[in-house]
Amino acid sequence: MNLGVTIYSSVTESEESGVRVSRQVFGAVATLVVVVGALVMMEGATASAGLRRTSYTAGAPGAGDAYFPYAGNGGYDVQHYDLDLTYTPPAPDPAPIVGQLSGVATIDLVATQDLNSFNLDLRGMDVQAVKVDGQRVREATPPAPGELPAGPGYWQVQDDDARVWELTIQPRPKLKQGQTARVVVTYGGETVRPEDIEGALYGWVTTRDGAMVVGEPEGSMTWYPVSDHQTDKATYSFEITVPEGKVAVANGLPAGDPVTENGWTTWFWDAPDAQASYLTTASVGDYDLRFSETAGGLPIVDAVDDALTPANAATTEASLALQADMIAFIEGAFVPYPFNSYGSIVDDDTVGYALETQTRPVYSRVAREGTVVHELAHQWFGNAVSPGLWRDIWLNEGWATYVEWLWSEATGGATAQENFDAVMEIPADDEFWALTISDPGPFGLFLGGIYDRGAATLHALRGEVGDEAFYAAAREWLVRFDDSTGTTDDFQAVYEEISGQDLGAFFDVWVRTPTKPTSW
Ligand SMILES: [Zn+2]
């Protein structure tokens, strides 16, 4: 993600927002305690209800990430999502900015335990039908805590205050560990402009001319049933039907030409690389689609809104023209580009930030050069290797910011050292330093320190281990955790292994202590 600000202004912004956010964090922790307490009560009540002893249990309603306890789910591993969507954007002004979405999600999964029931995350959409391996599962009344319906059934919990949005499916027959299952969920509803825990727009953000779809951290559940955590990566295919004249752009490459019939056009996309749910997009708008490729033959698909201002269009065109050079630059420093395609979606509406949606980042109103290299760098740092938990977000944003610094230096701008020095000029008593970047809390994911202290950490690490070990360890990190996730501890272990140095004190000072590093 990129907030679209320079280093200097992001530092200023974090100084202001740091105070505001630290108050919110207290409230967030209190909320999480209540929610987790309720979850434990539910599970305790279930266990004590004296149900028939069996190895078949309920899959967990979360992936075990304390920042977002109900994001993702336990008990299964999704292999593939096939999303068949039909979308009607809002009517012209002054109609409200509300769209209509209907979908059929076909989800191929493997049970990782004997499952009596399992959950998917789905927010603000009404489920109309569920099938598991062709067997219809009927809607059931949500059971009271500690009780479970005897037979098959599905039910939804939509608790906006507690931020719990769960679809529970209890199939019959039950699913045995190791068994594959095909789950088909038919659903739909009005689309609005959902907000994340901080109040920022995310998910299926309805726009006047379509939708801008950006899911970090757990907003993909606003448009399809999903195990919404990066620890369960899967491949995707899309069939998106929109009114004729609208363009729907998703991850990966077109899987055939669009088909127009009776005033509707269906767009087909296929994303065959393992992908975290928050990196999924299916944006809809008045886009001009352009196809090109890099000198190495990597396909590039750009979708640029035809309503950008002339100044923004000119900036965007100049930045997107650099994408192939930027890919070559990052490949030269690290490892080959990890996916089957690239390209950008530039929308004339705004969510106020850009997001590195896999193979196809989304930009608000304009794509600036620094932001474009930032979102591109995330394809390696964040997308191919994703954070193990949301507390590890600095590994995404620190690296993407550091690659911005490297690109700046390589193209005649400020050097990495100059950018590092600018960060280190921030006084020790500034709020900027009062952030433990390896555990910033759910309201601290996108504070300036995650970006700029994260990048400064990497620059200091480079000085600590030397250029050769710095780049060799980065390559090892990208290879070892490709298509997967890694934590801060994993990252430290790779750097210790490759450099042969004990980096415990270094990482403690830089990422685990909420004060300005002075010696390391
Ligand atoms: Zn970013």
Q: What is the pLDDT along the chain (520 residues), one digit of tens a residue?
A: 876 544 433 332 232 233 223 323 333 433 443 343 333 334 333 444 444 556 999 999 999 999 999 999 999 999 999 999 999 999 999 999 999 999 999 999 999 999 999 999 999 999 999 999 999 999 999 888 878 777 899 999 999 999 999 999 999 999 999 999 999 999 999 999 999 999 999 999 999 999 999 999 999 999 999 999 999 999 999 999 999 999 999 999 999 999 999 999 999 999 999 999 999 999 999 999 999 999 999 999 999 999 999 999 999 999 999 999 999 999 999 999 999 999 999 999 879 999 999 999 999 999 999 999 999 999 999 999 999 999 999 999 999 999 999 999 999 999 999 999 999 999 999 999 999 999 999 999 999 999 999 999 999 999 999 999 999 999 999 999 999 999 999 999 999 999 999 999 999 999 999 999 999 9
Q: What are phi and psi for residue 234, nearest 5 degrees?
A: -155, 170
Q: In terms of C-beta density within 10 A (0-12 exposed, 13-18 middle, 19 or more buried), how is residue 54 classed?
A: exposed
Sheet of 210-214: strand order equals: 203-207, 210-214, 282-285, 247-250
Query: Rg for the chain (alpha carbons), in Å?
Result: 23
**CA 375 to ligand 1 centroid distance, Å:** 6
Q: Which of 221, 197, 160 is nearest to 28 (CA)?
A: 197
* Chain center to CA of 219: 8
- The pLDDT score that the predictor gives to residue 170 is 97
Contact 205, 222 (CB under 8 A): no
CA–centroid distance, residue 393 to ligand 1 (Å): 9
- Taking the centre of ligand 1 as the mean of its atom positions, its distance from the CA of residue 401, in whole angstroms, is 7
Ligand 1: distance of its center to the CA of 156 in Å? 33
**Dihedral, 6, 388, 472, 298 alpha carbons, nearest 10:** -70
Cβ(267)–Cβ(247) under 8 Å? yes
Query: What pLDDT, on the 0 to 100 scale, is given for residue 3?
Result: 67
Taking CA atoms, 251 is separated from 47, 270, 348, 373, 433, in Å, by 42, 7, 19, 18, 37
CA 445 to ligand 1 center in whole angstroms: 10
Q: Which residues pair with 86 in a beta bridge?
A: 102, 241
Which tens digits make up the pLDDT trace of 163-204?
Answer: 999 999 999 999 999 999 999 999 999 999 999 999 999 999
Give the bridge partners for 169, in sequence order.
118, 154
Residue 494: its pLDDT value, please?
Answer: 99
> Cα-flanking dihedrals φ and ψ of residue 200, to 5°?
-85, 145
Ligand 1 centroid – CA 117 distance (Å):
36
pLDDT of residue 177: 97
CA of 403 to the centre of ligand 1 (A): 11
Spacing, Cα 160 to ligand 1 middle (Å)? 27
Cα–Cα dist 25/481, whole Å:
31
Question: Ligand 1 centroid vs 377 CA: distance in angstroms?
Answer: 9
Spatial neighbors of 59 by CB under 8 A, at least 6 apart, are: 73, 74, 75, 76, 113, 115, 117, 118, 119
399 Cα–ligand 1 center, Å: 9
Ligand 1 geometric centre to CA of 54 (Å): 45
Task: Check residue 147 and give its pLDDT.
Answer: 83
Helix (H/G/I), strand (E/B), else coil: 511: helix
